[in-house]
Amino acid sequence: MSTTNSTYNFGMIGLGTMGRNLLLNMADHGFSVTGHDKSEKMLQLLEEEGKAHNLKGFAKVEEFVNSLTSPKTIILLVPAGKIVDDVINEITPLLNEGDIIIDSGNSYYADTTRRSKELAEKGFRFFGMGISGGEEGARFGPSLMPGGEKTAYPVIKDVLEAVAAKVNGEPCVAYIGPGASGHFVKMTHNGIEYAIMQLLAETYDILKNGLGYSNTQIQQVFEKWNNGRLKSFLMEITKDVFLFKDEKTGNLLVDEIKDQAKSKGTGKWTSQIAMDVEVPLNTIDASVAARNLSKLKDLRVELESAFGKAGKIENVSDFEAQLEEAFFFSMVSAYAQGMHLLWKASKEYNYDLNMAEIAKIWRGGCIIRAEFLQDMYEAYQKDPNLEHLYQDAAIQQKIQTGLKHTRSVITASITAGIAVPCYAAAITYFDTLKTGRMPSNLTQAQRDYFGAHTFERIDSEGVFHAEWNKLS
């Protein structure tokens, strides 16, 4: 497929649903764009769906690159991993110094760091840009997290601000920082997403199996919550799930879906990297583990037969209101942990992240958009150097009111045998973080006893070792 227009401002490589939708979004806003894909089917779909803008694509990468104006700006929306390197290696011989490459897939941040350095050495400007919002967001307004060479951002700023979601007229995009900062922020976003999704799943379990609610009652709970302070994209789609009928059986589709959750790895990356930089992510870690537990279906069925099913939650008076409080507290925990990771990574990797801007661009377009994001934004506006959201007085007040109910919900669920790993992790994280003196002195004593790893004292400076074997 070819075109006579050779003056496109932006090019997209990868015309699957996400890439095609983002390209259509750009065209809707008046930008001259084109695409490249090796699949004739994808090129035909671009032409059909972009008929209003006379969009065309190229099957040959050379024709595609040559059709772009300078500096040539190419966005990649291809699967993360080796294929990104393959595409970069294919197009760089056709580019000139100063041209811009933007990887918009869910690439691992260390790969983006490597690519940034390699391409900078060759004179190219590279961005790793996180995109959140799914297919619908790409088409009508995603949240965008571009990180890379700051001098190149003015070249792409107008198009990104035009296609991004808007909240109060403000675009949900901002320059994130150098190197892999954009992909790091998107990865952390996904970690928070894992945690909130698991909290919703645990809430569903409590309502269905602990309280004996029908699907209709569960839908009504989520709908009511979505009309209040828990309003969010994930809450909104969850309430809709409990309305969707399966064409095959006539039942609600959710009841026909296997209880084995899949993942693409970004949640796992968040936990792994947090371990590397020594930031605890208890709630996010628990959500990753819960997905892995869900995959052990045969073992779970066997052990349920051996030990019995969970029971019902007793004394349920006002339990629904308590559960709402518990969800809010635990949701805040997920956001707080993710933002604490970003605070630490900003220092560790010299990203110089603007935490208020990150909270601001997450308010719309992205999967974790929620009413609470405004509270987060205001907290970081008041104190740009805020280490942890729990330090903000307004947020302290919001979570303090629900602590008693959170403990009650977790206690009742555990007593009934209902697994609530994320709820439990949220309260444990909180309780540990507010403990002035942890029992870790015993851990240090043990380490020194068996491995001579030394310890520090509370009454004097320095590093010490005790002759513990004198006890024997």
Give the tens place of pLDDT for each residue, 211-228. Answer: 999 999 999 999 999 999
Question: Does residue 239 carry a catalytic annotation?
Answer: no
Average pLDDT, the chain: 95
Given the structure tokens 């995959």, which residue do they identify?
Answer: 295
For strand 33-36 and strand 166-167, is the pairing parallel, antiparallel, or unpaired? unpaired
Amino acid at 287: S
CA distances from 165 to 19, 29, 302, 339 (A): 16, 13, 47, 21
CA distances from 400 to 203, 255, 332, 393 (A): 20, 36, 12, 10
Higher pLDDT, 182 or 80: 182
| Residue % of the chain over a pLDDT of 70 | 99
pLDDT at 43 over 80: yes
pLDDT at 1 over 70: no
pTM attached to this predicted model: 0.95
Q: What are the tens digits of pLDDT across the range 327-367?
A: 999 999 999 999 999 999 999 999 999 999 999 999 999 99
Paired tokens of 301: 């069925």
How far is it, in rounded angstroms, from Cα 360 to Cα 366?
11
How far is it, in rounded angstroms, from Cα 66 to Cα 62?
6
Segment 46-63 shows an average pLDDT of 94
What is the DSSP secondary structure assignment for residue 441, as one 8-state letter? H
Paired tokens of 230: 């828990």
CA distances from 451 to 152, 278, 331, 407, 470 (A): 52, 22, 40, 38, 15
Instruction: Considering the candidates 40, 48, 122, 193, report the single residue annotated as catalytic.
Output: 193
Q: What are the tens digits of pLDDT across the range 27-42?
A: 999 999 999 999 999 9
Domains of the chain: 10-179 (3.40.50.720), 186-433 (1.10.1040.10), 447-471 (no CATH)
pLDDT at 185 over 50: yes
Paired tokens of 378: 């205001």
Q: What are the tens digits of pLDDT across the range 148-172?
A: 999 899 999 999 999 999 999 999 9
How far is it, in rounded angstroms, from Cα 249 to Cα 294?
24
Paired tokens of 181: 């900062």
Amino acid at 164: A
Instruction: Considering the candidates 56, 186, 239, 268, report the single residue annotated as catalytic.
Output: 186
| Residue % of the chain over a pLDDT of 90 | 94
The predicted pLDDT at position 4 comes to 43
How far is it, in rounded angstroms, from Cα 58 to Cα 63?
7
Given the structure tokens 């609600």, which residue do they identify?
Answer: 252
The predicted pLDDT at position 6 comes to 59
CA 321-261-82 angle, to 5 degrees, is 130
CA 113 to chain centre: 19
Q: What are the tens digits of pLDDT across the range 413-451?
A: 999 999 999 999 999 999 999 999 999 999 999 999 999
pLDDT at 3 over 50: no
Q: What are the tens digits of pLDDT across the range 271-305?
A: 999 999 999 999 999 999 999 999 999 999 999 99
Q: What are the tens digits of pLDDT across the range 361-413?
A: 999 999 999 999 999 999 999 999 999 999 999 999 999 999 999 999 999 99
* The total number of residues written for the chain in this structure: 472
Q: What are the tens digits of pLDDT across the range 242-275?
A: 999 999 999 999 999 999 998 888 899 999 999 9
Asked if 64 contacts 34 with a C-beta cutoff of 8 angstroms, the reply is yes
Question: Does residue 461 carry a catalytic annotation?
Answer: no
In 420-469, which ranges are E strands? Answer: none
